[in-house]
Amino acid sequence: MSDPVSSIPNLGPASEAAFARAGIHTAAELRALGADEAYRRLLMSGTPPHFIGYYVLVMGLQGRPWNDCKGDEKAALRTRFDAIKSAMLGTKEKGRSDLEAALQFFGVVERR
């Protein structure tokens, strides 16, 4: 059996459930898609966009802790995130802040 999405560093059960809703069920599938395409699929499945969730995914796929993202690297990832988000206009849940969306992604607040 393939490793679950939650076997990737920084990704837990809430992330695994979100990726499953996006049709991504294994760590191998997620790695093969790469961070940008996997994140785009999350947005397509209804997950609200939020930068924290995106860079946590990027860092996890690199085997790095989520809080290792800093400085110029973080700025470059923000540019990539903004491009993905812009391409997906209209997917953000109305009335939910980016912080709330990030907390929802990690299962801390309920999905509206």
Evaluate the CA torsion angle 51, 80, 64, 4 in order and state its sign: positive
Euclidean distance between CA atoms 32 and 21, whole angstroms: 17
| pLDDT on residue 87 | 81
Whose structure tokens read 């990027």?
A: 58
Euclidean distance between CA atoms 10 and 26, whole angstroms: 15
Residues 6+ apart with CB under 8 A from 76: none
Q: Which domain holds residue 56?
A: 5-105
What are the tokens at 93?
A: 């849940």
What's this model's pTM, rounded to 2 decimal places? Answer: 0.77
Domains in the chain: how many in total? Answer: 1
- Does residue 112 sit within a domain? no
Chain segment 5-24, per-residue pLDDT in tens = 999 999 999 999 999 999 99
**CATH, residue 83:** 1.10.150.20
